[in-house]
Amino acid sequence: MPIVNISNITAMKIITLHKPVNVNELYNHINERLNPIFHKQKQSDISFTISNTPAGVEITQPEFYEGVLFTIAVQHDELWITRNEHYVDDVNNITVESILNSLFDDISNGRGTDLVQEG
């Protein structure tokens, strides 16, 4: 699958975890769990790069997707998730988003998550 040249169009959603979140804890959890869960669910060897950047936790896959797929910024007890709008219907992207939602629930320590805003 070739890399498609796209502009930097994004969509955003805000999720609250009902407890303060440390960006390093979030990064470590996603970094340790995302790829193994993805490989198991999709039976695929595609791996994503997870980076802890000043903008937040970034998820990329430069072999198939141009640019950042997800950026997750921590704002106290909220996660501000920016996702590349060009890939919202892509099956791999949908799988990653589903896995992220379960990982966010893990981070909330059983308190659950709420979608505050999507757009």
Q: What is the pLDDT of residues 21-52, one digit of tens each?
A: 899 999 999 999 999 999 999 998 899 999 99
Does residue 79 contact residue 106 with C-beta atoms inside 8 Å?
A: no
Structural domains of the chain, with CATH:
10-118 (3.30.310)
List Cα–Cα distances, 36 to 9, 42, 47, 77, 85, in angstroms: 28, 10, 9, 26, 25
7-11, 28-32, 48-52, 113-117, range with the lowest pLDDT: 7-11
Q: What is the mean pLDDT of residues 82-103?
A: 88
The DSSP result for 38-81, as a single string, is: HHHHHT-----EEEEETTEEEEE-TTT-SS-SEEEEEETTEEEE
Length of the chain: 119
pLDDT at 87: 81
**What is the enclosing helix (H) or strand (E) of 83?**
strand 78-84
Question: What residues does 11 pair with on adjacent strands?
Answer: 83
